[in-house]
Amino acid sequence: KHDACLLLDPDCVPSMNLLDHARKIFDPSILFTGWIWYIDKNGDIHKEASQTGSQLLGKSRWIDINERGCYKVLGGCMYFSKQRATLTGLFNTEYNGTWGQGEHDFALACYHSGMRLRFEAGLQVKHLYHEANRPGNYETNQRLLTRNMIDYRDTFNYLTPYNPAVAVLVVTMMRPYYIDQVMSYYRRLT
């Protein structure tokens, strides 16, 4: 129903003003990626996402795709126009498993369709602690991403209408228990 989609991983807790900020900045020509703060097993903030760099902490900026591809677009918090992104095919289902390169592939598809990429300091989430889970499909997913990077260069530039309503989607994949953990953490904050 809504065009603006805020996509959160199930192990990410949104900041209190996330939706208000998202409504203010929505632009169908931009794929936004948020700031991810990592919580350690004691519940303390351990570090900010390594891709953001501490020298840029709290600063919104455009992402230069030539700098490091789309590896700086993290899937934990992404915000985009559903109508515009649907024209790119949304997320590639060829990626195997619960962890991989799907968000980078999506960012590349959006970028090569004419969308701009942006880190947005006002879109902040806290990533709850859990053991790292990187199944053996990482190399397969990396090869698929490399192949797709070449294909996306030929995609078209589409324009979509503006619609500021926001839908929040939580991607559960094969980890539905994270939703309960996130909601429990969120209730303690309010």
Which has more pLDDT, 181 or 175?
A: 181
pLDDT in tens, 5-57: 887 777 777 788 888 888 898 888 888 888 877 777 777 776 655 444 444 45
Structure confidence at residue 163 (pLDDT): 43
Single pTM value for the model: 0.65
> Among 59, 46, 183, 66, which Cα is nearest to 118's?
59
**pLDDT higher for 66 or 181?**
181
* Tens digit of each residue's pLDDT (9 = 90 or more) over 60-109: 776 766 665 555 676 678 888 888 878 777 776 676 655 567 777 788 88
- Residue 77 dihedral angles phi and psi, to the nearest 5°: -150, 100
User: What pLDDT sits at residue 157?
Assistant: 42
pLDDT of residue 133: 60
- Does residue 159 surpass a pLDDT of 60? no
- What per-residue confidence (pLDDT) applies to 161? 43
Lowest mean pLDDT among 63-67, 122-126, 155-159, 163-167: 155-159
